């Protein structure tokens, strides 16, 4: 026990722990975090297994990192206790515990430069005479500085404790909504269940990667299902709902009216709690809103196209047109499709689904991608299903000036031409609850005050020793270099000497 | 008003101040010290005026992108150097801060200097507090770095008649590695940056500027300085004895710079950053690479402060930690942005 106490109280242990924490933090930024196990094996064939077994794929929640934090916390507690003892001694009984030998050992000391005035003792707040008859006189200032180190370490401990509370009890998730949507917000217990289910699912995926028959997997599956059902129940009877009334963007404009950047993403929302509805509130970046157990932050913004308007022409020579009874005179037709929503027009024997829509279509490395959210080169993929639900054909819809490309891919009796689509916005709001935050802020405040006290408040002890033979020694010491106190020493010296008498010859 | 021209004028002042301080040391002319200091002050005042103009014209403090951040940090380093030496003339430190400021401005010139409106995430008064306080802290870390470098330089230039112990030999080796290795590490770092930039179409010209404007001049200057120091080591030894405080004095100065910078960096860089992150992103800490590297910087300087309290660790080893601390600070500023992506990708 004594050895353990010795280890934790040692400054060297603290230095080693901070060093290990530094190295682990560096590794956490160099090793990609929270990927699937297979990805680590693929990227790092030699050390992938080691990364996974040490938990470095999720460094800041890994056992080595947490152990290091716990040990540092214990070391900090022992440091606080040890410091308190010495600080208390300095604060409460500095004069009583000081000896003439200790004071005379300070290098910056010197004798008083002349005969002292009669009432010299009035210059000192406390005086005592030791067993050898030496009068020890003391003035102190900046005592608060002595508490700085304590405040720093208590503050650090509170930050760590607050962080720990946040890890176990806090939740963070994102909710998304478009204009007119009302999104249910699950109670805290349900959101915690979803968070735990995600964590277990990731662990299960990693285990499955290496041993698909691992007996733990069944238990984990049951746990995940149970947690998912808690979350579903939470959504079914939500804590409250959020209505997205209005979403809009404010832009910076150049003098010629050109848009030169986004100034602000804004969501106007209402909270609906049972029968009660809150007043509409505006949420924007750096301007969060709190309701119930949660605080909502404008964290992401998405522009998307839900509905696309197209012109449809009949082309008789396409392969799928055989055996179809279609009246050519009914065309062209106008068709409006919502993404992923099946729709069967009267004039068509097929049901259409817009499987994908890309506002800024490009082919990069043989992959079809959208390079922006702007309607620069729109393309919609239309899939047709027959009455049996079998895919009857696929076709791309492009704007009229690019329709030559559509001919290469369509195998339907229809040609689709893009007409228009209105952009809609989706607001992503970070929803957070962290009961550890007040403790963290208090810790930060203490840490800051501690640093101000330690580094910026000078602590000063002004000593005078008067020996029985009449010799004197004047010393000023503290938490600054002795050079800083040179002027104060001179001033105190002047205050002590008798101005009427000449100084003794050297 | 052409703000870039004022910055260039400011850099010219730093170059002349550096020449003045160098002449002051090498020619042993004390009369050159005050004029050199005045020229350096002129450079700082010009840079401050340029920053104020840029702030006025952009409508936000010049802290919103890499160019603005580096120019501000360059000014803070020069200013911190002059304030730090107001009571104790240290021409070698002042010459070092001039070089640091010019190099910082050289790197800043790689980035676009266009004034752009603030993106939504940066529209907060926390931008002023978080970045400016962190930069003042970093400027003081730069002072500590230069002093630590000078400490190592002094150590290798000072010959002791006493028989060296193993510990002394290791210390000397460390000092040699730092004195010779630091300029080489800087050149290697800049070469890596140039190689990285050359692969980005948007930096097509910048890397050429970096090669001709920073890497080649720095390499040539380093080589010439090393040769001169070797050739005139006797005179340099005398100069070091005269113009630098003793090892203990330098150690105390390093501590002072870090003791001033550490609370500012911690409050500005970490705590205000946490408060702002909480307001903007809904969580005060997310292990974003920039956050994590700011924490690593804090941890390295915490190690410095703890090591200094431990007996027998003052001197060379604490100077080495101070140097590592500044390298980590610079990686937080540059490396994270270029090598590791994250939420702080704008600056």
Residues 83-142 of B with CB under 8 A from A: 116-117, 119-121, 123-124, 126
Q: What is the pLDDT of residues B215-262, one digit of tens each?
A: 888 899 889 988 988 888 888 888 888 889 988 889 989 999 999 999
Spatial distance between the Cα atoms of A78 and A7, rounded to a whole number of angstroms: 10
Most confident region among A19-28, A114-123, A318-327 by mean pLDDT = A19-28
pLDDT at residue A260, as a whole number: 82
Residues 25-84 of A with CB under 8 A from B: 25-26, 28-30, 33, 59-60
pLDDT at residue A317, as a whole number: 56
3-state class of A171 per DSSP?
strand
pLDDT at residue A499, as a whole number: 66
Contact (CB, 8 A) for B136 and B80: yes
Q: How confident is the model at residue A441 (pLDDT cuts 50, 70, 90)?
A: very high
Contact (CB, 8 A) for A432 and A119: no
Query: Is residue A396 exposed (0-12), middle (13-18) or buried (19+ Cβ within 10 Å)?
Result: buried
Contact A437 B299 (CB under 8 A): no
* A14 part of contact set with chain B, CB < 8 Å: yes
Is a pLDDT exceeding 70 seen at residue B1?
A: no
Length of chain A (residues): 506
Contact (CB, 8 A) for A435 and A165: yes
Spatial distance between the Cα atoms of B42 and B30, rounded to a whole number of angstroms: 20
* A300 part of contact set with chain B, CB < 8 Å: no
Contact (CB, 8 A) for A175 and A429: yes
pLDDT at residue B44, as a whole number: 96
Q: What is the pLDDT of residues B159-176, one digit of tens each?
A: 665 666 777 888 889 999
Spatial distance between the Cα atoms of A110 and A79, rounded to a whole number of angstroms: 35
State which H helix or E strand residue A35 sits in: none
Burial A63-97 (b: 16+ CB within 10 A, else e): eebeebbebbbebbebbbeebbeebeebeeeebee
Q: How far is the alpha carbon of B292 from chain A, nearest alpha carbon, in Å?
A: 7
Spatial distance between the Cα atoms of A254 and A256, rounded to a whole number of angstroms: 5
- Residue closest to B149 by CA, chosen among B254, B48, B50: B254
Which chain A positions have a beta carbon within 8 Å of B262's beta carbon? 451, 455
Task: Compute the CA torsion angle B254, B259, B265, B266 (nearest 10 deg).
Answer: 140
Structure tokens at A452: 């101000």
Q: What is the pLDDT of residues B48-85, one digit of tens each?
A: 999 999 999 888 899 888 899 999 999 999 999 999 99
Contact (CB, 8 A) for B285 and A443: no
Contact A18 B296 (CB under 8 A): no
| Residue A482: partners with Cβ closer than 8 Å, 6 or more residues away | A106, A107, A108, A476
Q: How confident is the model at residue B341 (pLDDT cuts 50, 70, 90)?
A: low
Q: How confident is the model at residue B346 (pLDDT cuts 50, 70, 90)?
A: very low
Q: How confident is the model at residue A183 (pLDDT cuts 50, 70, 90)?
A: very high
* A263 part of contact set with chain B, CB < 8 Å: yes
pLDDT at residue A294, as a whole number: 92
Which chain B positions have a beta carbon within 8 Å of A15's beta carbon? 303, 306-307, 310
Contact (CB, 8 A) for A285 and B280: yes
Return the bridge partners of A379, or none. A358
Which chain A positions have a beta carbon within 8 Å of B296's beta carbon? 22, 25-26
End-to-end CA distance of chain A: 59
Q: How far is the alpha carbon of B307 from chain A, nearest alpha carbon, in Å?
A: 7
Spatial distance between the Cα atoms of A400 and B149, rounded to a whole number of angstroms: 68
Q: How confident is the model at residue B268 (pLDDT cuts 50, 70, 90)?
A: very high
Spatial distance between the Cα atoms of A61 and A40, rounded to a whole number of angstroms: 17
CA distances from B204 to A91, B66, B69 (A): 64, 17, 22
Return the bridge partners of A362, or none. A369
Please tell me which of the candidates A264, A444, A481 has its beta carbon nearest to residue B274.
A444
pLDDT at residue B37, as a whole number: 95
Spatial distance between the Cα atoms of A266 and A257, rounded to a whole number of angstroms: 21
Provide, rounded to the nearest whole percent, the portion of chain A with pLDDT above 70.
Answer: 94
Q: How confident is the model at residue A321 (pLDDT cuts 50, 70, 90)?
A: very low
Residues 196-255 of B with CB under 8 A from A: 252
Contact (CB, 8 A) for B14 and B102: yes
Q: How confident is the model at residue B98 (pLDDT cuts 50, 70, 90)?
A: very high
Question: Following DSSP, what letter does each residue of A144-166 receive, concatenated?
Answer: GGGGHHHHHHHHHHHHHHHHHHH
Q: Please give the average per-residue pLDDT across A61-80, as a whole number.
A: 91
Provide, rounded to the nearest whole percent, the portion of chain B with pLDDT above 70.
Answer: 94
pLDDT at residue A187, as a whole number: 94
- Average pLDDT of chain A? 87
- Average pLDDT of chain B? 88
Return the bridge partners of A339, or none. A354
Which chain B positions have a beta carbon within 8 Å of A449's beta carbon? none
Backbone region of residue A261 per phi and psi (left: phi > 0; alpha: psi in -120 to 50; beta: other values): left
Provide, rounded to the nearest whole percent, the portion of chain A with pLDDT above 90.
Answer: 40
Is a pLDDT exceeding 90 seen at residue B123?
A: no
Contact (CB, 8 A) for B270 and B277: no
Is a pLDDT exceeding 60 seen at residue A343?
A: yes
Q: What is the pLDDT of residues A458-482, one digit of tens each?
A: 888 899 999 998 889 999 988 777 7
């Amino acid at each position: 026990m004594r050895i353990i106490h010795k280890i934790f109280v040692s400054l060297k242990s603290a230095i080693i722990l901070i060093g290990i924490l530094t190295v682990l933090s560096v590794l956490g930024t160099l090793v990609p975090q929270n990927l699937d196990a297979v990805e680590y094996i693929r990227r790092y064939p030699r050390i992938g297994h080691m990364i996974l077994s040490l938990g470095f794929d999720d460094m800041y929640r890994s056992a080595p990192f947490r152990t290091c934090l716990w040990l540092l916390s214990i070391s900090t507690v022992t440091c606080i206790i040890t410091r308190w003892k010495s600080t208390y001694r300095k604060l409460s009984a500095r004069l009583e515990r000081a000896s003439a030998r200790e004071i005379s050992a300070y290098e910056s000391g010197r004798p008083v430069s002349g005969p002292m005035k009669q009432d010299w003792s009035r210059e000192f707040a406390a005086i005592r005479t030791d067993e050898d008859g030496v009068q020890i006189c003391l003035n102190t200032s900046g005592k608060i500085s002595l508490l700085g180190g304590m405040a720093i370490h208590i503050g650090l401990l509170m930050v760590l404790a607050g962080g720990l509370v946040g890890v176990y009890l806090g939740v963070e998730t994102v909710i998304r909504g478009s204009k007119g949507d009302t999104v249910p917000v699950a109670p805290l217990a349900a959101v915690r269940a979803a968070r735990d289910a995600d964590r277990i699912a990731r662990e299960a995926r990693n285990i499955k990667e290496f041993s698909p028959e691992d007996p733990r997997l069944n238990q984990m599956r049951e746990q995940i299902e149970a947690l998912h059902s808690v979350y579903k129940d939470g959504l079914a009877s939500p804590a409250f709902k959020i209505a997205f009334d209005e979403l809009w963007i404010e832009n910076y404009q150049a003098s010629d009216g050109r848009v030169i950047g986004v100034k602000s993403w804004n969501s106007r929302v209402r909270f609906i709690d049972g029968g009660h509805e809150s007043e509409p509130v505006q949420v924007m970046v750096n301007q969060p809103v709190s309701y119930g157990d949660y605080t909502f932050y404008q964290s992401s913004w998405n522009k998307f196209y839900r509905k696309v308007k197209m012109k449809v022409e009949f082309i008789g020579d396409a392969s799928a047109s055989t055996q179809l009874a279609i009246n050519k005179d009914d065309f062209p037709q106008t068709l409006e499709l919502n993404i992923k929503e099946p729709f069967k027009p009267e004039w068509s024997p097929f049901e259409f689904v817009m499987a994908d829509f890309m506002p800024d279509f490009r082919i990069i490395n043989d992959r079809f991608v959208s390079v922006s959210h702007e309607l620069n080169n729109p393309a919609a993929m239309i899939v047709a299903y027959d009455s049996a639900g079998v895919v009857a054909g696929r076709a791309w819809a492009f704007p009229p000036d690019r329709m030559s490309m559509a001919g290469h891919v369509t195998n339907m009796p229809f040609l689709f031409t893009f007409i228009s689509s209105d952009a809609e916005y989706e607001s992503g709001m970070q929803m957070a609850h962290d009961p550890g935050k007040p403790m963290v802020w208090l810790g930060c405040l203490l840490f800051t005050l501690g640093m101000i006290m330690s580094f910026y408040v000078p602590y000063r002890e002004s000593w005078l020793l008067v020996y029985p033979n009449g010799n004197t020694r004047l010393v000023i010491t503290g938490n600054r270099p002795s050079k800083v106190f040179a002027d104060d020493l001179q001033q105190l010296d002047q205050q002590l000497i008798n101005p009427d008498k000449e100084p003794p010859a050297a | 008003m052409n703000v870039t021209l004022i910055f260039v004028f400011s850099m010219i002042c730093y170059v002349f101040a550096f020449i003045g301080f160098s002449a002051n040391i090498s020619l042993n002319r004390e009369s050159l010290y005050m004029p050199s200091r005045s020229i350096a002050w002129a450079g700082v005042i010009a840079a401050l005026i340029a920053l104020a103009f840029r702030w006025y014209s952009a409508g936000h403090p010049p802290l919103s992108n890499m160019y603005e951040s580096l120019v501000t940090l360059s000014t803070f380093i020069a200013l911190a150097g002059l304030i730090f030496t107001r009571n104790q003339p240290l021409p070698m430190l002042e010459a070092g801060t001039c070089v640091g400021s010019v190099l910082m401005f050289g790197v800043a010139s790689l980035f676009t200097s266009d004034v752009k409106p603030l993106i939504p995430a940066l529209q907060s008064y926390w931008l002023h507090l978080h970045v400016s306080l962190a930069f003042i802290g970093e400027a003081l870390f730069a002072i500590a770095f230069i002093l630590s470098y000078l400490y190592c330089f002094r150590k290798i230039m000072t010959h002791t008649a006493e028989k060296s112990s193993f510990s002394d030999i290791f210390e000397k080796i460390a000092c040699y590695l730092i004195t010779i290795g630091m300029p080489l590490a800087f050149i290697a770092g800049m070469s890596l940056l140039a190689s990285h930039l050359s692969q980005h179409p948007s930096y097509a010209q910048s890397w050429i500027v970096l090669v001709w404007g920073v890497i080649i001049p720095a390499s040539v200057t380093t080589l010439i300085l090393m040769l001169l120091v070797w050739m005139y080591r006797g005179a340099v030894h005398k100069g070091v004895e005269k113009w630098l405080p003793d090892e203990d004095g330098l150690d105390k100065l390093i501590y002072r710079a870090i003791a001033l910078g550490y609370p500012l960096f911690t409050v500005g860089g970490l705590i205000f950053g946490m408060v702002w992150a909480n307001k903007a992103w809904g969580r005060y800490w997310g292990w974003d690479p920039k956050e994590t590297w700011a924490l690593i910087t804090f941890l390295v300087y915490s190690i410095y402060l703890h090591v200094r309290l431990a007996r027998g660790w003052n001197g060379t080893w604490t100077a080495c930690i101070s140097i590592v601390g500044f390298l980590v600070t610079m990686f937080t500023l540059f490396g994270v942005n270029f090598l590791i992506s994250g939420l702080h990708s704008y600056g």
